[in-house]
Amino acid sequence: MVRAFLLAAAASLLLGAKAPPTVDYRLSVEPQAAGQSPLLDVEIRFRGDADGETRLALPSEFADTTEAWRYVSGLTVKGARMTEDGPGARTLRHRPNAAITVRYRVQTAYPQDPQGVDRNPYKGPILRPTWLAAFGEFVFAAPGGREDQAATFQWGKLPAGWSHASDLEHGAMGRPMRVFDILDSVTLAGAGLAVLERPITGGTLRVAAPPGVQPQLLASLADRSAATISAERGFWNDVQGPYLVAFIPLTAKPRGGLSVGGTGRSDGFTLYSTPGVEDRLGATIAH
């Protein structure tokens, strides 16, 4: 009887225990005047550290790009007093475990469409008048030391007629999300964004591209990617869940020539190419 009581008490404690707090992200797209690039509106809600001081790391670096905080403006904090900790961070002082809300805007790093120069487009977020593509490292701030903390993501407002595709949406598809996944993300949105789905081993593949990408190219990318991902998952037998391939078109090089490249994400990858390299994308996908 005593054993049964102890088991019941333990079960009651487990049922009554609260889930650990999450870091909650919300992303909106704010349109500007016709022909101008939109802005990203970012909102982050989280609990401050127990000692009453939390360091907030702003978007900073990825690949060979640094100082991505240059594209951040209008930073406000509710629930804490904010002081600068160098250009790329802020110190938040607050009550222990206080509820904190951070808001700011992100502007484009590309006043023109990205061009097929001899490097991938890593300057910062690509926000064009009718579409956008952005890595999480260039968009999202994070409370320090929280990379493994559970996180959530949701979309806010988008311009009329815009749709979206991001591996940030995988949390709603059953994949547990951490703050690291928010930072290690890729997001596409736009008017006329094209998204194709294919079944793959252990989940569903989505292949997304901004408006203007030829449908036959996107279909070929979807078929090649699905076959390669399924073969690799089948071989290793250790990965399940949804997957995203984001295709970012590059304009032709000014002096001719072709350019193709890619960037891995934890649950997807990004492809870049100038026109005319369709026959070379298979090797990049496999790589």
Decide if 45 is inside a domain.
yes
pTM of the predicted structure, to 2 decimals = 0.89
pLDDT(6) > 60:
no
118: confidence class by pLDDT, cuts 50, 70, 90: low
CATH number of the domain to which 137 belongs: 2.60.40.3650
Q: What is the DSSP string of 130-176?
A: TEEEEEGGGT--EETT-TTSBEEEEE----TTEEEEEGGGGGGGT--
In a domain, 4, yes or no: no
Q: Would 183 be classed as within a structural domain? A: yes
7 found inside a domain: no
- Dihedral over alpha carbons 228, 233, 235, 238 (to 10 degrees): 160
* Structural domain includes residue 231: yes
Task: Taking residues 229-254, report their average pLDDT.
Answer: 89
Domain that holds residue 213: 20-286
What tens digit of pLDDT does each residue of 177-222 get?
999 999 999 999 999 999 999 999 999 999 999 988 889 989 999 9
Q: How many domains does the chain have?
A: 1
Is 160 inside any structural domain?
Answer: yes
| Closest listed residue to residue 247, CA positions, set 208, 282, 201 | 208
Residue 4 — pLDDT band, cuts 50, 70, 90? Answer: very low
Assess if residue 8 is contained within a domain: no
Q: In this predicted structure, what is the pLDDT of residue 282?
A: 80
User: Does the residue 9 lie in any domain?
Assistant: no
